[in-house]
Structure formats: structure tokens, C-alpha cells
Amino acid sequence: MIYLDNNATSKIDPEVLEIMLPFLTDNFANANSTHAFGLIASEAVKNARQQMADLIGAEIHEIVFTSGATEAINLAIKGVCKILRFQMVRLVLRHRLSLLMC
């Protein structure tokens, strides 16, 4: 079988899986929690954010992780609205939830 819906989901790269496996099995805490497990997760997110910033030449505060496409699209639209000072943007995209008032 040939899988052609990589827009919905895609196979995890083996290197990514190796790095993520501890956080999918043992250290699966909320990174915003203040208990020991949360602090481990928080440090991992902080390191990932720094690695991504270094990779693309950004500042660490410019890196934002989202939970998925809809959230990422809304964040991008909000950024455009702020830059262009639009009052409201309504887009019909593949993700119908991407309706946003700026």
C-alpha cells in the first residue's frame, strides 16, 4: 500500500522517535507543571526550542510549538493581522476552524 495523506499525519522519522520515546513512555508529564516530572518535560521543551532557534537563526522567544495545523494557521493569521493591522480576517481553508478575529 502507498500512503498519500501526509498532510493529515506522517511517519515519525526514526531519529525523532528515538529522542521522543522517553517522553512518550516514562516522562510524559505536562511541561507547565512544577513537579519533578513536569520540570523534566519543561527542560526538554526548552532544549528543543533552543535547538530549533539555532537551526533557523531565530531567537528562542520566536519559536512557538503548536498542537497542530489549525492552531498554527490561526497563529499565522493573527500575526499577519497584527502586522497589517487588519480588524478581521476570514479565510476558508482546508481547516474550517481557521476563522479568526484579530
Return the amino acid letter for 52. Answer: M
Helices marked H in the chain — which ranges?
A: 14-25, 36-56, 69-84
Q: What is the pTM of this model?
A: 0.68
Summarize pLDDT for 35-57 with one digit per residue, the tens: 999 999 999 999 999 999 999 99
Please, which residues have CB within 8 angstroms of residue 13's CB and are 6 or more apart in sequence? Answer: none
Summarize pLDDT for 56-94 with one digit per residue, the tens: 999 999 999 998 878 888 888 888 888 877 655 555 555
- Please report the sign of the dihedral spanned by the C-alpha atoms of residue 79, residue 52, residue 27, residue 5: positive
Distance, in Å, from the CA atom of 6 to the CA atom of 21, rounded to the nearest integer, reads 21
Please, which residues have CB within 8 angstroms of residue 60's CB and are 6 or more apart in sequence? Answer: 49, 50, 53
Determine the pLDDT at residue 96. 55
